[in-house]
Amino acid sequence: MQPGQEEEGRPLRGFAATLLSRPDEVMLAQGASGERLVARLRALIAALLLLMPLASALAGDPLRHVAAVLAVVLVLNLFAQFWLLLARQPRRYPWLPFASSAWDVTATTLVLLALGVGDWPAALNNTVAWCGYPLAIVLASLRSDARVAIATGLLAVLQYAALAGSVILAADSPEQLLSAEHGAIGVVGQGQRLLVLGLFTLVTATVVQRMLQLVELSGTDGLTGLPNRNWLVHQVPRWLDGIDPGGSATLALLDLDHFRHVNEEAGHAAGDRVLREVAASLAGSLGRDEHLVRLGGEEFVLLLRKPLGTAWEHVDALRRALEARGFVAERGGDRLPLTLSGGLASCPHDAGNLSGLLRRADLRLLRAKAEGGNRVVARDA
């Protein structure tokens, strides 16, 4: 492979890896809500399909055809209620989005099989019934997971290719692929449908991934790459709910002391570099299920799975390490001092929600600043 070809291949590999990546917990929670919505739509569509046997009978179709359609529709309604039951607790079943989407594709194939009893052109040339495949792919996007859309699209292509290929190969004569009412089954026409399904899959997965990226950006600080205030507001309630019974957690509100002077003396570019370095240093101290959030400016929030006393020791050690390290505004320049102040609040002792914790931590931070800064306050005076 030539170097240029290798470089050209990297974006494609990166794009594929992005599509196949697992969404974060925020989007999985959104996907769970989407799963419930799809389950309700599926139940409604299955109920409407009960009109198909009636329409078939009124059209004068053979009895065996009407019976086949009725049997398939009853199965679809039974499974629709089954998926609706599971969707009440979608996060309990991680496999549910894949399984229910696979069923939507299989259900479309079953409907086509029922329509094709005695007249295959009535099935393979039925555009309305075939639209169940792209509908299943589009509904997969509501799961907020590009992997579900890709799996759904691939299954639709495979099932329809198997169905159309089996019919064409099994035909003993061209007349069996011809119907006065529904036209002829053509290889080119069926290939075009498979191509459309493939394009539908690619576009849907790309749209889902783009949506995930936009949501991620809306909750990410552009300078440091940390979660931002929007993330904090939406995710901390769930984080607090995850505290073990009898356990505790601590919110630490941190502020760099006299940071305005850094921007004035060293410039905003140096100030941005300092913020990134501080963010990286603080983030490196985090344990499992602990988070660092940038509120804006030089203000950060640490979410620690530690009781108040242990959290104070942790944050104070970070303060001392930052003070000892300082920062260098430019290569070869002098090391300038850098300190931070912090206010801590614990859950459930100080407050049980985000607003209460922030309010208490802010009061303690103000006290740390009033006492000269470069200190961490964990309790009221």
- The C-alpha atoms of residue 129 and residue 163 are separated, in whole angstroms, by 14
For the cut 70, the answer to whether the pLDDT of residue 286 exceeds it is: yes
For the cut 60, the answer to whether the pLDDT of residue 32 exceeds it is: yes
Percent above pLDDT 90 for the chain: 45
Quick check: 254 and 341 in contact, CB under 8 A? yes
Residue 93 CA, chain-centre distance (Å), reads 16
Q: How many CA atoms lie within 13 A of 181 on its CB side?
A: 8
Task: Report the pLDDT value the prediction gives residue 368, as an integer from 0 to 100.
Answer: 96
Domains defined along the chain, listed by start = 10-218 (no CATH), 229-377 (3.30.70.270)
Task: Report the pLDDT value the prediction gives residue 1, as an integer from 0 to 100.
Answer: 41
- The C-alpha atoms of residue 92 and residue 94 are separated, in whole angstroms, by 6
Grade residue 6 by pLDDT with cuts at 50, 70 and 90. very low
Task: Report the pLDDT value the prediction gives residue 27, as an integer from 0 to 100.
Answer: 66
Token pair 């790309």: residue: 206
Q: What is the full DSSP assignment across 306-374? A: S-HHHHHHHHHHHHHHHHHH-EESSTT-PEEP--EEEEEEEETTT-SSHHHHHHHHHHHHHHHHHTTSS
Grade residue 21 by pLDDT with cuts at 50, 70 and 90. confident
Token pair 């390290």: residue: 325
Identify which has the larger pLDDT, 315 or 34: 315
Average pLDDT of the residues in 325-330: 74
Give the tokens for residue 107. Answer: 């259900």
Under DSSP, the state recorded for 89 is S
